Amino acid sequence: MTNLDLHRIYSGKVRDLYEVDEEHLLMVASDRISAFDVVMKEPIPEKGRVLTALTHYWVREFADQVPTALVACDPAVIDEFVPGFLDETAWHGRTMLVRRARMLPLECIVRGRLAGQAYDEYALKGTVHNMEAPPGLRLTDPFERPLFTPSTKAESGHDLNIDLASAAQIVGDQALGQAMGLCLDLFKRAAAAMAEVGLVLADTKFELGFVDGELVVCDEVLTPDSSRIWPADQVRPGEIPPSFDKQPFRDWLASQPWDRTPPPPPVPDEIVRVTSTRYIAAYERVTGRSLADWYGA
């Protein structure tokens, strides 16, 4: 709760969206964590700041090549659009001022390595998103070149992995071509940057939308919630590497006698602490910066 007179127009598993004016919104990343579309009761300290700081880092890192909806994360700049924001210190560092966008109704996933749902499908059918894939690949093996593998954006339930032909039926050939070009270019740039600090970007999910007719990157960008990021020296064919994400939380949850419906089991303090540490490490390893220097510390 804040003293700001803002209309909340959306509340997701992690983010809340507030109306600023006809052209701008506030996107606030909470410390909530979820699994199987169920939000846990216990927050993960600093998670929202990490997601926001990493998004800002990548957007600014490639600002000259990647169009974006992000306007600012600086509380002083946001205060110019939302008077009183400087006093809402709990929101500092986890809030993005963004331009309104007409969202592309696709999840734009780029895969550089075989992992996750793509591996499950490949092991079963030899395809990835119902598209032909090279034979003989093992878990974590790289593709010859990154793959653009879209999925639907479900209003309820789970997104469905689809092939390029199905994606074109949803958004049209021109928009799909634009999305592929933008996402593949950003993935290649980010993967190269991560490789320089000993990390592997296995896959990531982008959200895109149109602002004034231009297709731009929206929402979070290359964060632990939207990406698989592995230490390069711990990637071995056929094995699942440790990830800079909520893997400790997933591993603990998988051991619990829970039927994946509310209410979720209580998350132990140690799992909360380890998961928070993993998120912070992701930001600091990727950027070479301390989270203590980011807004809201």
Q: Which residues contact 233 (CB under 8 A, 6 or more apart)?
A: 198
88 occurs within a structural domain: yes
Question: What pLDDT was estimated at residue 134?
Answer: 95
Same domain membership, residue 113 and residue 35: no
The confidence score (pLDDT) of residue 274 equals: 93
The answer on 203 and 141 residing in a single domain is: yes
The total number of structural domains in the chain stands at: 2
**% of the chain residues with pLDDT over 70:** 98
pLDDT for residue 1 is more than 70:
no
**Distance between CA 281 and CA 225 in Å, rounded?**
14
CATH of the domain at 139: 3.30.470.20
* Contacts with 93 (C-beta within 8 Å, 6 or more apart), sequence order: 48, 49, 52, 53, 73, 294, 295, 296, 297
Last residue of a domain, one of 50, 71, 100: 100
The verdict on 131 and 89 lying in the same domain is no
- Residue 255 placed within a domain: no
Helix (H) or strand (E) holding 229: strand 227-231
**Same domain, residue pair 5 and 87:** yes
Q: Do 109 and 83 share a domain, yes or no? A: no
Same structural domain, 96 and 160: no
The Cα–Cα gap between 105 and 142 comes to: 28
One domain, residues 114 and 129: yes
CA 214 to chain centre: 21
Give the residue-averaged pLDDT of 123-135.
97
| pLDDT (average), residues 57-82 | 95
Residue 180 placed within a domain: yes
Count the Cβ atoms, other than its own, within 10 Å of residue 260: 11
104, two tokens: 């592309």
Q: Which residues span the domain enclosing 94?
A: 1-100
- Res. 137 pLDDT band, cuts 50 70 90: very high
Identify the domain boundary among 41, 71, 100: 100
- 258 in a structural domain: no
Q: Please give the biggest Cα pair distance in the chain.
A: 58
Distance CA 251, CA 236 (A): 19
Residues of the chain above pLDDT 90, percent: 89
37 vs 156, higher pLDDT: 37
Shared-domain flag, residues 82 and 112: no
Tens of pLDDT along 194-206? 999 999 999 999 9
- Per the prediction, the chain carries an average pLDDT of 95
Q: How many Cα atoms occupy the beta-carbon half-sphere of 14 within 13 Å? A: 22
pLDDT for 3 equals: 78
Is the domain of 145 the same as that of 80?
A: no
Residues 199 and 127 in one domain: yes
Q: What is the pLDDT of residue 176?
A: 98
pTM exceeds 0.75 for this model: yes
pLDDT, residue 248, reads 81
Q: Are residues 226 and 109 in the same domain?
A: yes
- Given 202, 234, 266, which residue is the final one in a domain? 234
Give the CATH number, domain containing residue 67: 3.30.200.20
227 and 156 in a common domain = yes
Helix residue ranges per DSSP H, the chain: 47-61, 75-81, 116-125, 164-171, 173-195, 247-254, 269-287
The answer to whether residue 268 is domain-embedded is: no
Whole-number pLDDT of residue 156? 57
Please tell me the distance from the alpha carbon of residue 113 to that of residue 139, in angstroms, as a whole number.
8
218 falls within a domain = yes
Of the pLDDT bands very low, low, confident and very high (cuts 50, 70, 90), residue 157 is low
CA dihedral 182, 183, 185, 187 (to 10 degrees): 160
